[in-house]
Chains A and B, each alone.
Chain A
C-alpha cells in the first residue's frame, strides 16, 4: 500500500513533496467538483453543502471562510469521508486523479492520515486521554508504515520538536491532560504531519485558543506545512487569521461558495456584496475609527427549503428582481482566477461596505423616536424577525439551545 516505506526507515526527516515551490503551474492535488451534502431532517432535507468546487494546488494554502452554518466544515468532513451514514454526499473529490467519494471504509483508511490529514478545532477532544502523547504519535506513524516501535518513537520525537514543544524527550511520556491547550493543538498538528500527507485540512485550528497561543500554534502549523510541503485547507471564521496564512480564499454562504480568488483580490477588491459586508463589519485593531461599524442586516437563511434566487438577496442592498429569481453562478469577476457569484458584481468596483450597506433603500427607520441613533439594520423590516419556521431553521442554534435547557 505504501511503496515508499522502505526509504522511510532510514530517513531522519521526510523529503519535501516534489510539488513544493515548483513555480506557478503547480500540480493540482485535490480537486473538488460540485460537492453536495444533504442531511435528512423532520423539516425536510437540510442542504448543508450545495455545490462546492475548488482545486487545491501543491504547497498552497486555501482559506475557507464563512459564518456558522455556511457549510465550510461539512464540506471538508465530506472530503475526508467522516460524515455520518445518514448524510447523502454527491459530486466528486479527486485526490491526484483518484476518486475518493464512494471508497470503502478500508480504502478510505489508507487515504486518511497518509494522503490527507485533518486537524480539528478542539484539542481537548481530539486526543485520547488514556494514552501517552508518544504512543498516539507512534500510532499514527505505525498506521501507515511497517517500521519498528523504536523507529516510530524516534519519528514522534522529531515531530514534537518540529511543532515547537520544549523538552520533547520528557513530554513524549506524558498524558494529554498534562499539556495546555496550545501544546495539545501542537501535538495534534504533529500527528497530522506524521505521515507526510499531501493535503492537511485544518478546521478552525486556533479558535479554541487565546491570541498569544494562537500566534504560537499558527507558527507551528506553518512549520508543519513547510516541513511536509503539504497543501493546506484552512477553515476559519476569522478573517484576520486567513489574511496572514492563506494564498487563496474561498468565501462560503448558505452552503455554496460565493467568491473565490487570490487573497489580495478578495480583501482589496471583493466582488460579492457578502464579502464586502463581512469585511466592513469587522472592528479593526489597526485603525483609529470613530465611525460606526457596518453590519449586514438580517440573518443567514435556513438551508432547509431555501427559496429560489440568490441566498444572500434578502440581506443584500443591491438586489433586483433577477436576484430573487435565479441563483447566480460562480463566474470570473476580476481576472480568470477571481470568481464571484453575484448578478451585480460589475457594480462593485471600489465600493466599500459603507457605500453599499448604509444606503440600503429598504432600511426602514426604526420605531424608536430617533432612528438616527439606532443601528440602521436593527429597525423592523430589515432584521427579519425570528426565523420563520422556529426550531430547526438555524442549524447552529438548536443544539446549543437544547443544551441550555
Chain B
C-alpha cells in the first residue's frame, strides 16, 4: 500500500457498517441499600466510523478507552445509549428482536480468551455446530456433520479431532475453534476482540495469517480490536485510535503510522518497543506524564490535554482553546486547521501536526 490519499479498501459503495454518534453510558451507583444512581460513566462518547465490505478496521487504545464497549455496542450485545449502528442498511438500535436475531447471522464475535470462551463440557463438533442449530441451518445429520468438518478444515484443524474436548487443544488451536464457530453462519462482519493477545508469539503469527487468508477467501469485514499496535499495523486497512471514549485519530494504516497527527497517537507509537536493538537505542520516546483520567469526570475541552506533550508547548492563549473547545475529528491541514469533514485521515486536535515517530 502507498501513501496515496485514497485507501484501496474504501470503495465508494455503501459501507457494511455505519456507526454514527455512538454513546454508551454506564450508571455509577451508590453503595447504599437502594444503590441509588449517583452519576454516569461515558465509556464511549460520541464516536462515528464506517466499515466497508471486506475491509479491516483496527480499533486501538489502552485499557479503559472504550474499545471493547464499542465492539459490544456494534453487535448490539449492550444496547447503545444513543446514536445509530446501521448494519447492511438496517439500524440495529431500532430493529425488533426477531429481525435482530436474523441479522446476527451476518455479524459474529471472536473473543480474547480461548480458554474461557469455549464450553469445556461439549465436544468441538458440538461447539461449532451450535450456531448452525440455533439458526436452523444444521440440516440433516450428515449434512451438518459435513459442514462442521469443512469449517474445521478451513481454520486448519484436523476434522478427525472433532470428537475431542476443548481442553485437549492448545491455545492457538482453541482460538481456531472459536474462529470456526464464528464462521459457521457465513457472516459478513467479524468482530475480533483481542483475538491474539492471549497467545504466544510463534502461535499468534499462525492465527493472524489464518485471519488474513479467510478475509481474502470469504470477503469478510473485520472490526479488529487490539492494544497491540504491531499486530494492527500488520492486519488493518484503516486504524482508529481511541482515548477516554473518543476516537482521536482515524486514517489509512500507513498514513496513520508514518504520519500520525494527534499527539496521543504519536506518544502511543513511540512507546511501542521494536524488536530491533539498534533502532531501539536511537529512538526518541515521547513519555506521557501521569495516568488516564477517570472517565466519570473527563477533562473539559480536549480530553487528552492533561497529559498532552503538545499542550505544554502552547502559549496560554492557545491552551484556552484546548480547555474550552472540544476538538472535532476532521481532516486537518497545516497548523491543525480543520479542513474537510470527509477526509480519509482525520485527527481530533486543534493543533494537529504530522510528526514522524518511527
Contact = CB atoms under 8 A, between A and B. Distances in A.
Interface of A: 67-68, 166, 180, 182-183, 210-216, 219, 237-244, 263-264, 267-268, 277-286, 288-290, 292-297, 299-300, 366-368, 370, 373-380, 383, 385-387, 390-391, 394, 397-398, 400-401, 403-405
Nearest to A289: B234
A212 B62 contact: yes
Contact of B278 (A264, A278, A279, A300): A264
17 contacts: A166-B290, A215-B287, A240-B273, A240-B280, A267-B276, A284-B274, A292-B209, A293-B234, A299-B170, A366-B156, A368-B154, A373-B213, A375-B156, A386-B164, A390-B168, A398-B167, A401-B115
A248 B113 CA distance: 33
Given A278-B201, A386-B168, A211 B272 contact: yes
Interface in B299-358: 358
Contacts of A238: 273
B230 A284 contact: yes
A394 B200 CA distance: 13
Contact of A390 (B167, B258, B276): B167
Chain B contact patch, size range = 35 or more
List 6 A-B pairs, minimum CB-CB distance, nearest first: A378-B156, A240-B273, A295-B205, A281-B205, A283-B234, A295-B206
Interface in B206-256: 206, 208-210, 212-213, 216-217, 227, 229-231, 233-235, 254
Interface stretch (B11-19, B96-104, B263-271): B263-271
Given A243-B277, A367-B153, 20 more contacts: A182-B291, A210-B63, A210-B227, A211-B268, A212-B288, A214-B273, A215-B271, A240-B230, A240-B273, A240-B280, A283-B205, A283-B231, A284-B234, A288-B258, A290-B1, A293-B208, A368-B153, A373-B217, A378-B176, A403-B115
Tell which of B154, B276, B281 has the most Cβ of chain A within 10 Å: B276
A68 B171 CA distance: 11
A285 B257 contact: yes
Interface in B160-208: 161, 164, 166-173, 176, 200-206, 208
B269 A285 contact: yes
A214 B1 CA distance: 31
Interface of B: 1, 62-63, 113, 115-116, 120, 153-156, 158-159, 161, 164, 166-173, 176, 200-206, 208-210, 212-213, 216-217, 227, 229-231, 233-235, 254, 257-258, 267-281, 283, 285, 287-288, 290-291, 358
A299 B172 contact: yes
Given A237-B200, A294-B205, A375-B213, A286 B279 contact: yes
Contacts of B229: 211, 285
Given A264-B278, A375-B213, A394 B285 contact: no
A300 to B, nearest CB: 8
A290 B56 CA distance: 14
A274 B331 CA distance: 45
B62 A210 contact: yes
B274 A285 contact: yes
Given A180-B291, A263-B277, A286-B358, A67 B206 contact: no
